[in-house]
Amino acid sequence: PFSGMERILIGLDADQCVAVTTTEGPVLVVAGPGSGKTRVLTHRVAYLIGSGRARPWQIVAVTFTNKAAREIRERLGGLLGTESAQLVQAGTFHSLCVRILRRDGYRIGLEPAFTIYDEEDQLALVKQALRDLGLDPQRFSPRMLLGRLSRAKNDQHSPSDLQSMAQSYWDEVAARVYERYAQYLQRAQAVDFDDLLLRTVELFTEYPDVLAHYQDRWRYLQVDEYQDTNRLQYQLVRQLASGHRNLCVVGDPDQSIYSWRQADIRNILEFQRDFPDATVIRLGRNYRSTPQIVAAADAVIRVNRQRIERPLWTENPPGPPIRLLACWDEQQEAEMVVSEIDRLVRTGNARYRDIAVLYRINAQSRSVEEALVRRQIPYQVIGGVRFYERKEIKDALALLRVLVNPRDWLSLRRVLSETAFGRGIGEKTLLQLEQWGQRQQCSPADVLLLLVEEREEAPALAAATVRRLRELGGELVRLRAAMVEHPASQLFDLALERSGLAARYRDASDPTERERWENLVQLRSVLERYDTVPAAEGLPLFLEEAALVAAIDEAEMSGDQVTLLTLHAAKGLEFPVVFLIGVEEGLLPHARALESEAELEEERRLFYVGITRAKERLYLSYCSSRNRFGLRERCLPSHFLDDLPPDVVEAGSRASERVPRVAPPAGGHAGPVESSAPVVPRLRAGQRVFHPAFGDGFVVAVREQAGDQEVTVQFKRHGTKTLLASLAKLVVE
């Protein structure tokens, strides 16, 4: 029997309470992992509403993922009731910008129906630009160019800025590609992810009255994971907050792991410069993890030099020690992880949903997946090919995009090349259509519509082609008309039928094609959520959602399954049991990051983020060899492991005793380890060996003894030891 306000403040400690109740003016919360930053943010929003200081729609909560936003809304729902929770503007920077641009983008030449392009679309545009310029995509990597464009946008540089700053031919090319690229986007009434931010900042800069509207509406701003915001995001925040200055940002500089996406650690320092009167709150108590895990994390991050020292402690009861798993190769690593998962679940120590397997790069998930499948353990992989990136889904989305935004010629082109709508329309016709459209200042889809209405002279094409184009235009016109009358899912059915996509996949006998059909059916079920309004209103909302979902948003947290995800995707999450695999030199830290101290520090932060996702049990595994790029490579344990305090790690733990006693067969697979018969290998000086507890080493000396060998081994991590070969269970590599 608590009052509403008590319920909001009850689960908070004194420092957290200050962060929640300091509602007026700028507030900066800098605090370590698991200290309740996200919790503070949620309770703050609840407090603002509960105390009557703000109405729900006056509050913005910016999160790093849509999933985090959804969770905040859910927790708010619990504290305040769902109705209020729905009215709070909670979402990512991108969704916030979409919202602004849909309403006011027309001021800067953006129609409300604009399309949002994903990375695949962006790459297609860059390639198109290169083709136009007569440049070879083999020589000028589209991906690298895209990275350059993204940086330019983040620095608010226009194509001509880039041109005038160019210092090499490559810069020159980047500037010219950028110019074309921007024209294409404008012509298609499309924006990429960077544009969402950039154009919003532009809008606010050029139209102070628009900015004033939002400043007036959104009275209280909160930003989570502030350490990973980029310059544009910070600028946006500053613009929105510049009137009332009720801005609360929470973050942890030690968890900044997105510098490759232009996240800028300077934002925290600048915040204090821009808001010198900001209340700075530090939270030091970790509520998430066991003391062992907190100690390990603290010892690891301490090694970084570019950081501000701060305390992190916990009063949680101790848990099991951190376990190191030394493995032969990734197959054995996967076996060990999965058999441990199996053991934990069988012994009632965890449910599948409590368990996460984290890794540095997506490719590492494969061996674990295979092992999970063998044991029939349910799992989900986050990342990989996103649902919305699948071919059939993109085809269907292209169809819908063209209906909503006929200027979107990139999508039209996809529709024509991938569906029956393109029958009888070749690449050449398409090109002519585009050129003709350009002269008329309209898109190819507009051209088709004009052709139907016979308002324009047809371009100089064969009569049959023109007829075919008119037919196609007719189809589009009919579908667009249907948009006004039918809900989105019905329109979807219609579009799939008319375009031949339905027939192609539904009636296929090939199982992979059938699977594509099932995906389309799944897409339809998402669309149904927008069925309460006609498609003309529902579709744009749906397309926006489809464009903005990130890999992590697709995570299913309700079922009972193991979750596999990258360290980057794991930010902000927590699991009772965490396996962090591939803790090896070259992988974590990644080989790419060995060039500079700054990059190495970011890798260490990544390791830190991984460790701090665990609540109770943490396993760190590494292999002595790994298949990379088709080659079997030798690996060494990551030197990050050297920083773990020995007293929180269980050496020679149960799992590592299960290291194979014989070298794996040439195939590389260690097989079921327990069953292999112990074989004592003959040892020679200079040989590389592996010991279940001491790990990798090499033989320094051998002394023959009656029927046995006394070997001296220099271990990489445990110094020199002399052992009896028959007992030492050494494995020769």
* Chain residues in the site for ligand ATP (CB under 6 A): 11-13, 16, 31, 33-39, 252, 255, 287-288, 572, 574, 612
CA 506 to chain centre: 32
Of the two residues 35 and 215, which places its CB atom closer to ligand ATP in the complex? 35
Active-site hit among 37, 413, 605, 615: 37
Determine whether the annotation assigns residue 678 to a binding site. Answer: no
Q: What are phi and psi of 380, to 5 degrees?
A: -135, 145
Q: 34 or 695: whose CB is closer to ligand ATP?
A: 34
Q: How far is the CB of 68 from Mg ion (least distance, A)?
A: 8
Per CB under 5 A, 63 contacts Mg ion: no
176 binds, among ligand ATP, Mg ion, none (CB under 5 to 8 A by kind): none
Buried/exposed code over 455-464 (b: 16+ C-beta within 10 A; e: otherwise):
eeebbebeee
Is 83 an annotated catalytic residue?
Answer: no
**Residue 462 known to bind ligand:** no
Q: How many CA atoms lie within 13 A of 306 on its CB side?
A: 16
Please state, in angstroms and rounded to a whole number, the distance separating the CA atoms of residues 3 and 199: 44
Instruction: Decide if 224 is catalytic.
Output: yes
Cβ neighbour number for residue 91 with a 10 Å cutoff: 23
Longest dimension (CA), the chain: 102
Whether the CB-CB separation of 259 and 267 falls below 8 Å is answered with no
Is residue 251 involved in binding Mg ion (CB under 5 A)? no
Q: Among residues 95, 105, 101, 6, which one has the least CA distance to residue 47?
A: 6
Binding flag, residue 154, Mg ion (CB under 5 A)? no
Q: Please say which residue, 199 or 288, places its beta carbon nearer to ligand ATP.
A: 288
Catalytic residue from among 89, 122, 255, 566: 255
Kindly name the residue from 225, 254, 329, 335 that is annotated as catalytic. Answer: 225
Q: Is 612 annotated as a binding residue?
A: no
Annotated catalytic residue 225: yes
Q: Which residues are CB-contacts of 217 (< 8 A; sequence separation ≥ 6)?
A: 57, 58
To 5 degrees, how large is the angle CA 517–CA 540–CA 221?
120
Shorter beta-carbon distance to ligand ATP: residue 71 or 584: 71
Residue from 540, 572, 664, 695 binding Mg ion (CB under 5 A): 572
Q: Shortest gap between Cβ of 3 and ligand ATP (angstroms)? A: 19
- Respond yes or no on whether the N-terminal peptide bond of residue 318 is cis (omega within 30° of 0): no
35 is in an annotated binding site: yes
Choose, from 104, 192, 195, 224, the residue flagged as catalytic.
224
Is 38 one of the catalytic residues? yes
Residue among 253 and 572 whose Cβ is closer to Mg ion = 572
Partner whose footprint covers residue 12, from Mg ion, ligand ATP, none (CB < 5 to 8 Å by kind): ligand ATP
Q: Say how far apart CA 201 and CA 198 lie, in whole Å.
A: 5
Within residues 200-229, the interface with Mg ion by CB under 5 A covers none
Question: Is residue 38 involved in binding Mg ion (CB under 5 A)?
Answer: yes
- Bridge-based pairing of strands 220-223 and 379-381 is unpaired
Catalytic, 613? Answer yes
Answer yes or no: is 34 a known binding residue.
Answer: yes
The response to whether 615 counts as a known ligand-binding position is no
> 190, 227, 211: which is closest to 32 by C-alpha?
227
CB 473 within 8 A of CB 449: yes
Report the partner that residue 490 touches, choosing among Mg ion, ligand ATP, none (CB closer than 5 to 8 A by kind): none
Is residue 31 a known part of a binding site?
A: yes
Dihedral pair phi/psi, residue 41, rounded to 5°: -60, -45
Q: Is 693 annotated as a binding residue?
A: no
Binder of residue 288, out of ligand ATP, Mg ion, none (CB less than 5 to 8 A by kind): ligand ATP
CB of 573 to ligand ATP, least distance (A): 8
Contact partners, residue 229, CB within 8 Å, separation at least 6: 93, 223, 237, 263, 264, 267
Question: In 10 A of CB 384, how many CB atoms?
Answer: 17
User: Residues forming the annotated binding site?
Assistant: 31-38
Catalytic residues: 37-38, 224-225, 255, 613
User: Residues forming the annotated binding site for ATP?
Assistant: 31-38
Residues that bind Mg ion (CB under 5 A): 37-38, 572
